[in-house]
Structure 1
Amino acid sequence: MTSIEQINAIGVAGQPWGAPEKARWQALQQVQRSYADEVVTRVQALAGKWQVQCYGQLDYGDGQYRLLALRSQPWRQDLPVALVTGGVHGYETSGVHGALQFVEQHGDEYAGKYNLLVLPCISPWGYERIQRWNALTVDPNRSFVADSPAPEAAAAMTLLASIAEPVRVHIDLHETTDSDESEFRPALAARDGKPFVAGSIPDGFYLVGESEKPQPGFQQAIIAAVAAVTHIAPADENGEIIGDKVVAHGVINYPCRSIGLCAGMTDAPFVTTTEVYPDSPKATAQQCNAAQVAAVRAALDYALAHA
């Protein structure tokens, strides 16, 4: 990962980065793991039982990537869509592997109930470099907007726009990590020429609902399922998680669509974003993946029961 010292050495403090500074940041990013070996091979292993769709191609010069989706086979016009997205932030590992583990272990359980559409790794460049941004220093999870500056987000939105069946539920799998505070928030401040304001990282799992359609029963059903796997983040002394008011145990709300989050890209009535905490001494990588799987299953089951 990029250190604060390396970030602070880019450009002039208090001035937003231009093209030279962004290129310098990109040059610091090194491949640390393989999208082909760790993601593509697992997706391709499901071909036959599932339809594997290439919905886009990224070419960043230092890396070319096929964007892959898994679709129910057969795809039925009489069924609603359940959308699972992971790896919008490539460094958030359990989002990617939790999405794949869900398909591998439980996808068949929803045959005849949903058209499942799973995008396990929306940002493969970031996955390989364990980075929040893409190669353009753009956060894909603020880019699900018209004329998106992130080709990863644009490709996902184009895919969803091509699907006629209604999306009933969308669960977007994320993590909150210690590196958010040690690297990614300082990088954001430096890129935008703003002072860095220190925050805190909650210890535990939490959800981010859509403030325009909060669905409190839906959110709490997911929290209850995940609590059997890993611990839920408590509110801080201000009754907040990452600076936002807790509206129920382990739940905060954002205006997802208006700020360009992945969770806002459909009209699904049931929407949430998971946030796993992989750096907790009370959680293992396996628990983090299992928490994502539990969250997906609870979300899909609740949306079926409350159609």
Structure 2
Amino acid sequence: MTSNSFYPIGLSGKAWTENERNQWRASQSQQRLYGDDVLPRIMALADRFEIRTYGQLNYAGEAYTLYALRNGIPDQNLPTALITGGVHGYETSGVMGALQFLETRAAEYAGKANLLVVPCVSPWAYERVNRWSYDAIDPNRSFYPDSPAIECAALMELVAAQAGSFLLHIDLHETTDSDESEFRPALAARDGEDFVPGAIPDGFYLVDDSGNSQPAFQTAIIKAVEQVTHIAPPDDDRKIIGAPVVAHGVIEYPQAKYAMCASMTGARFTTTTEVYPDSPRATSAVCNDAQVTAVCAALDFALAHA
């Protein structure tokens, strides 16, 4: 058995054991602080939103409190919308876009929708600019009963406790160059599989749910976002990240099959945004603006078609 040529941890063809997971954990270092970047902005919203604690993480003595925000006591006569960011901690505009939406646009939906916003689902990974949780688990493939990902279990419990059904869930993500240089190679090494290189699309796109396709909803979001940033074109095979393009800037995944975050509410309207922060045509401000624009376009369409 030989070492992986594409990743420094693990042996070729052999899935990781706890030994390799410990090596991986040891290789992760704090690069930013949840307590500096995220928590002060959440707490600054206390006069406008109800801030709820919905869980606690404790990894090797490092504790993180999980927060959700609501725009007041839920009104049973209004539809409910969930906005999540930071399921993958390294996808910065998911977190910052959710916070920016709360700070700048959420007030527009008072009396129109019950908003539940979770800006940073995975704070440990946020600090380490990583995709996985402390246990080398991908949260966006772990939204299922008895999930081993504490982040997912806590969020599912929060959602289950909400009265009534959800009309909308928009989950804010990024596709980055590090997906190809770090995270896909790590996944292959963790699972003892061969790494097959892929391509990173340049631009914004959406992931619809093939089990609950809502093409007009996705198109409305794309039309709004393309006023802010460019939309990812398909590759030569008419695909984006290996999935067929079903409309301009839209691909589909069977989200429940993959246990993705956007599948957990059973909402009529669901989508996963994918911003590309490494594009020479984008900046962090543009990426954050694109996320906010996507949230507002999703809310506006869903409320108009409730």
TM-score band, normalised by the shorter chain? over 0.9
Shift of 1:10: 2.0
Secondary structure in structure 1 of the residue aligned to 2:93:
helix
Matched residue, 2:280: 281
Match of 2:156 in 1: 157
Deviation at 1:261, TM superposition (A): 0.1
Is the counterpart of residue 115 in structure 1 residue 114 in structure 2? yes
Secondary structure (helix, strand or coil) at the match of 1:171 reads strand
Unaligned runs of 5+ in 2: none
The alignment of Structure 1 onto Structure 2 pairs a total of residues equal to: 304
Cα deviation per residue 1:167-207 (whole Å; 9 max; x = unaligned)? 10100000000000000000000001111000000000000
> Is 1:66 aligned with 2:65?
yes
Taking structure 1 as the reference length, what is the TM-score of the superposition?
A: 0.97
Q: What does 1:199-238 correspond to in 2, within 5 Å?
A: 199-238=198-237
Aligned-partner Cα distance in 2 for 1:63–1:236:
42
Cα distance in 2, alignment partners of residues 282 and 233 from structure 1: 12
Q: Alpha-carbon deviation of 1:121?
A: 0.3
CA apart distance, 1:6 = 10
Work out whether residues 7 and 25 of structure 1, in 8 Å CA contact, stay in contact via their aligned partners in 2.
no
Once structures 1 and 2 are overlaid, which stretch shifts more, 122-131 or 68-77? 68-77
The separation in 1 between residues aligned to 2:170 and 2:5, in whole angstroms, is 35
1:7/1:48 CA distance change after superposition, 3 Å: farther
Question: Per the alignment, in what secondary structure is the counterpart of residue 85 of structure 1?
Answer: strand
Inter-partner Cα distance in structure 1 for 2:47 and 2:61: 32
Is the 1:55–1:67 Cα contact (8 Å) retained in structure 2? yes
- Structure 1 position 7, deviation (Å): 7.5
Alpha-carbon deviation of 1:63?
2.0
Backbone CA RMSD of aligned residues:
1.3
Tell me by how many angstroms 1:214 deviates: 1.1
TM-score under structure 2 length normalisation:
0.97
* Deviation (angstroms), 1:8: 2.9
Give the match for residue 35 of structure 1.
34
Q: Distance in 1 between matches of 2:59 and 2:114?
A: 32
Q: How far apart, CA to CA, are the structure 2 residues paired with 1:164 and 1:75? A: 8
* Superimposed CA distance per residue, residues 115-138 of structure 1 (whole angstroms, 9 cap, x where no aligned partner): 100000000000000000000000
Deviation at 1:73, TM superposition (A): 1.2
Distance 1:11 1:190 in 2: 6
SS of corresponding position for 1:158: helix
Write out aligned runs for 1:239-278 (5 A): 239-278=238-277
Question: Contact 1:173 / 1:292 at 8 angstroms: preserved in 2?
Answer: yes
Q: Secondary structure in 2 aligned to 1:247?
A: strand
| Structure 2 equivalent of residue 90 of structure 1 | 89
Whichever residue aligns with residue 220 of structure 2, its letter is: A
1:173 is paired with a residue of what secondary structure? Answer: strand
Q: Are the aligned partners of 1:81 and 1:168 in contact in 2 as well (CA < 8 Å)?
A: yes
1:76, distance to aligned residue in structure 2 (A)? 1.5
Q: Which amino acid aligns with 1:297?
A: C
Which stretch shows the higher mean deviation, 57-66 or 105-114? 57-66
Inter-partner Cα distance in structure 2 for 1:161 and 1:280? 38
Q: 2: distance between equivalents of 1:210 and 1:154?
A: 21
Report how far residue 62 of structure 1 moved. 4.7
Aligned to 1:141: 140
Q: Which amino acid aligns with 1:204?
A: G
CA distance in 1, matches of 2:130, 2:223: 30
Q: Distance in 1 between matches of 2:148 and 2:6?
A: 22
Cα deviation code 1:23-45 (max 9, x no counterpart): 11001100000101111110000
